[in-house]
Structure 1
Amino acid sequence: MSAPSKPWFVYLVRAANGALYCGISDDPQRRFAMHRSGRGARFFHTSPAQALVYVESCADKGAALRRERALKRLSKPAKEALVAAAP
Protein backbone atom coordinates (compact mmCIF):
# COMPACT_ATOMS: atom_id res chain seq x y z
CA MET A 1 0.00 0.00 0.00
CA SER A 2 1.43 3.38 -0.96
CA ALA A 3 1.43 6.43 1.25
CA PRO A 4 -1.26 9.02 0.54
CA SER A 5 -0.07 11.71 -1.82
CA LYS A 6 0.73 15.12 -0.43
CA PRO A 7 -1.81 17.83 -1.30
CA TRP A 8 -0.85 20.37 -3.92
CA PHE A 9 -2.40 23.76 -4.57
CA VAL A 10 -3.00 26.05 -7.50
CA TYR A 11 -2.83 29.73 -6.62
CA LEU A 12 -3.21 33.24 -8.02
CA VAL A 13 -0.99 36.14 -6.98
CA ARG A 14 -1.82 39.75 -7.80
CA ALA A 15 1.11 41.83 -9.06
CA ALA A 16 1.49 45.55 -8.40
CA ASN A 17 0.27 46.31 -11.95
CA GLY A 18 -2.98 44.36 -11.33
CA ALA A 19 -1.98 41.29 -13.34
CA LEU A 20 -2.74 37.83 -11.94
CA TYR A 21 -0.02 35.17 -11.87
CA CYS A 22 -1.06 31.50 -11.72
CA GLY A 23 1.18 28.80 -10.26
CA ILE A 24 1.23 25.56 -8.29
CA SER A 25 2.96 24.59 -5.05
CA ASP A 26 2.78 22.16 -2.17
CA ASP A 27 3.05 25.22 0.13
CA PRO A 28 1.46 28.33 -1.42
CA GLN A 29 2.37 30.62 1.52
CA ARG A 30 6.07 29.72 1.22
CA ARG A 31 5.91 30.15 -2.56
CA PHE A 32 4.25 33.55 -2.21
CA ALA A 33 7.02 34.61 0.17
CA MET A 34 9.54 33.61 -2.52
CA HIS A 35 7.66 35.70 -5.11
CA ARG A 36 7.61 38.67 -2.70
CA SER A 37 11.37 38.40 -2.19
CA GLY A 38 12.00 38.50 -5.96
CA ARG A 39 12.81 34.80 -6.36
CA GLY A 40 10.77 32.13 -8.05
CA ALA A 41 9.30 33.71 -11.20
CA ARG A 42 10.54 36.26 -13.72
CA PHE A 43 6.92 37.43 -14.02
CA PHE A 44 7.44 39.55 -10.90
CA HIS A 45 10.65 41.26 -12.05
CA THR A 46 8.67 44.02 -13.78
CA SER A 47 5.83 44.28 -11.25
CA PRO A 48 6.32 42.93 -7.72
CA ALA A 49 3.98 40.40 -6.10
CA GLN A 50 1.44 42.12 -3.86
CA ALA A 51 -1.06 39.58 -2.54
CA LEU A 52 -1.91 35.89 -2.58
CA VAL A 53 -5.52 36.25 -3.70
CA TYR A 54 -6.68 32.69 -4.49
CA VAL A 55 -5.70 29.19 -3.34
CA GLU A 56 -7.36 25.96 -4.45
CA SER A 57 -6.46 22.53 -3.07
CA CYS A 58 -5.82 19.67 -5.50
CA ALA A 59 -5.46 15.93 -4.87
CA ASP A 60 -1.90 15.69 -6.18
CA LYS A 61 0.69 17.41 -8.36
CA GLY A 62 -0.84 16.10 -11.60
CA ALA A 63 -4.26 17.47 -10.68
CA ALA A 64 -2.68 20.81 -9.74
CA LEU A 65 -0.90 21.01 -13.10
CA ARG A 66 -4.13 20.26 -14.97
CA ARG A 67 -6.04 22.88 -12.97
CA GLU A 68 -3.25 25.43 -13.53
CA ARG A 69 -3.53 24.91 -17.30
CA ALA A 70 -7.31 25.39 -17.06
CA LEU A 71 -6.97 28.60 -15.03
CA LYS A 72 -4.36 30.02 -17.40
CA ARG A 73 -6.84 29.58 -20.27
CA LEU A 74 -9.48 31.66 -18.45
CA SER A 75 -10.03 35.31 -19.33
CA LYS A 76 -8.97 37.96 -16.82
CA PRO A 77 -12.63 38.66 -15.86
CA ALA A 78 -13.16 34.94 -15.19
CA LYS A 79 -10.05 34.85 -12.98
CA GLU A 80 -11.27 37.96 -11.15
CA ALA A 81 -14.61 36.21 -10.56
CA LEU A 82 -12.74 33.29 -8.95
CA VAL A 83 -10.86 35.71 -6.70
CA ALA A 84 -14.09 37.52 -5.74
CA ALA A 85 -15.84 34.23 -4.89
CA ALA A 86 -12.96 32.87 -2.79
CA PRO A 87 -13.64 32.59 0.95
Structure 2
Amino acid sequence: MNIIQNIPQGENGKWYVYIILCNNGSLYKGFTDDLERRYYQHLTGAGAKYTKQHKPIGLVYFEEYDKKEDAAAREKYFKSGTGREWLKNKLVGDIQ
Protein backbone atom coordinates (compact mmCIF):
# COMPACT_ATOMS: atom_id res chain seq x y z
CA MET A 1 0.00 0.00 0.00
CA ASN A 2 1.17 3.49 -0.65
CA ILE A 3 1.97 5.54 2.45
CA ILE A 4 0.71 9.13 2.27
CA GLN A 5 3.49 11.63 2.91
CA ASN A 6 1.67 14.99 2.67
CA ILE A 7 -0.86 15.03 5.49
CA PRO A 8 -3.25 18.02 5.63
CA GLN A 9 -2.76 20.34 8.58
CA GLY A 10 -5.61 21.08 10.95
CA GLU A 11 -7.40 24.34 11.64
CA ASN A 12 -9.17 24.46 8.28
CA GLY A 13 -12.64 23.60 9.58
CA LYS A 14 -12.64 20.23 7.83
CA TRP A 15 -13.20 16.73 9.15
CA TYR A 16 -11.23 13.70 8.01
CA VAL A 17 -11.83 9.98 7.90
CA TYR A 18 -8.51 8.17 7.82
CA ILE A 19 -7.11 4.67 7.42
CA ILE A 20 -3.82 3.61 9.02
CA LEU A 21 -1.94 0.44 8.09
CA CYS A 22 -0.72 -1.29 11.25
CA ASN A 23 2.28 -3.58 11.75
CA ASN A 24 0.06 -6.69 11.93
CA GLY A 25 -1.43 -5.94 8.48
CA SER A 26 -4.71 -4.61 9.85
CA LEU A 27 -6.33 -1.30 8.93
CA TYR A 28 -7.25 1.14 11.70
CA LYS A 29 -10.16 3.48 10.87
CA GLY A 30 -10.89 6.79 12.56
CA PHE A 31 -12.06 10.37 12.08
CA THR A 32 -10.79 13.71 13.34
CA ASP A 33 -10.82 17.45 12.74
CA ASP A 34 -6.99 17.59 12.74
CA LEU A 35 -5.48 14.75 10.73
CA GLU A 36 -1.87 15.78 11.23
CA ARG A 37 -2.21 15.95 15.04
CA ARG A 38 -4.22 12.73 15.32
CA TYR A 39 -1.85 10.76 13.11
CA TYR A 40 1.09 11.97 15.24
CA GLN A 41 -0.80 10.82 18.36
CA HIS A 42 -1.13 7.35 16.87
CA LEU A 43 2.58 7.26 15.97
CA THR A 44 3.68 8.28 19.47
CA GLY A 45 1.38 5.94 21.40
CA ALA A 46 -0.96 8.72 22.53
CA GLY A 47 -3.73 7.69 20.12
CA ALA A 48 -6.11 4.76 20.34
CA LYS A 49 -5.49 1.67 22.45
CA TYR A 50 -5.48 -0.39 19.25
CA THR A 51 -2.61 1.54 17.68
CA LYS A 52 -0.63 1.29 20.91
CA GLN A 53 -0.77 -2.50 20.55
CA HIS A 54 -0.48 -2.62 16.75
CA LYS A 55 2.01 0.07 15.78
CA PRO A 56 1.16 2.25 12.76
CA ILE A 57 3.21 1.75 9.61
CA GLY A 58 1.61 4.65 7.78
CA LEU A 59 -1.45 6.57 6.69
CA VAL A 60 -2.78 4.87 3.56
CA TYR A 61 -6.07 6.68 2.87
CA PHE A 62 -8.15 9.66 3.94
CA GLU A 63 -11.23 11.60 2.88
CA GLU A 64 -12.17 15.19 3.73
CA TYR A 65 -15.63 16.34 4.85
CA ASP A 66 -17.22 19.65 5.78
CA LYS A 67 -19.43 18.18 8.52
CA LYS A 68 -18.52 16.04 11.52
CA GLU A 69 -21.65 13.95 11.03
CA ASP A 70 -20.60 13.01 7.49
CA ALA A 71 -17.12 11.98 8.62
CA ALA A 72 -18.56 9.92 11.49
CA ALA A 73 -20.99 8.18 9.13
CA ARG A 74 -18.20 7.36 6.68
CA GLU A 75 -16.03 5.94 9.49
CA LYS A 76 -18.97 3.77 10.56
CA TYR A 77 -19.34 2.58 6.96
CA PHE A 78 -15.62 1.69 6.74
CA LYS A 79 -16.02 -0.43 9.88
CA SER A 80 -18.94 -2.37 8.35
CA GLY A 81 -18.54 -5.47 6.22
CA THR A 82 -19.44 -3.56 3.07
CA GLY A 83 -17.05 -0.75 3.97
CA ARG A 84 -14.18 -3.15 4.67
CA GLU A 85 -14.77 -4.72 1.26
CA TRP A 86 -14.85 -1.27 -0.39
CA LEU A 87 -11.51 -0.40 1.24
CA LYS A 88 -10.00 -3.71 0.17
CA ASN A 89 -11.01 -3.03 -3.44
CA LYS A 90 -9.88 0.61 -3.26
CA LEU A 91 -6.49 -0.17 -1.78
CA VAL A 92 -5.77 -3.43 -3.62
CA GLY A 93 -4.13 -1.55 -6.50
CA ASP A 94 -1.65 -0.10 -4.03
CA ILE A 95 -0.57 -3.49 -2.68
CA GLN A 96 2.68 -4.92 -4.03
Q: TM-score, normalised by structure 1?
A: 0.81
> What RMSD over aligned residues (CA atoms) do the two structures have, in Å?
2.1
Q: Which residue of 2 aligns with 1:82?
A: 90
The answer to whether residue 34 in structure 2 is matched with residue 27 in structure 1 is yes
Unaligned runs of 5+ in 2: 1-11
Q: TM-score, normalised by structure 2?
A: 0.74
- 1:83 and 1:49, CA in 2 relative to 1: closer, same or farther beyond 3 A? same
Q: Which residue of 1 aligns with 2:51?
A: 44
Q: Would you say how many aligned residue pairs link Structure 1 and Structure 2?
A: 82
Amino acid at match of 2:68: K
Unaligned runs of 5+ in 1: none
Decide which structure has the larger Cα Rg and report it.
1
- Alpha-carbon distance, 1:11 to partner: 0.4
- Alpha-carbon distance, 1:47 to partner: 1.4
Residues in 2 aligned to 1:77 and 1:64: alpha-carbon distance in whole angstroms:
18
The answer to whether the 8 A contact 1:54-1:82 is kept is: no
- Alpha-carbon distance, 1:26 to partner: 1.2
Which 4+ runs in 1 deviate beyond 6 A? none
- 1:27 and 1:83, CA in 2 relative to 1: closer, same or farther beyond 3 A? farther
Percent same amino acid among aligned pairs?
30
Query: 1:10-34, CA deviations, whole angstroms, 9 ceiling, x for partnerless residues?
Result: 0000100110000001121221111
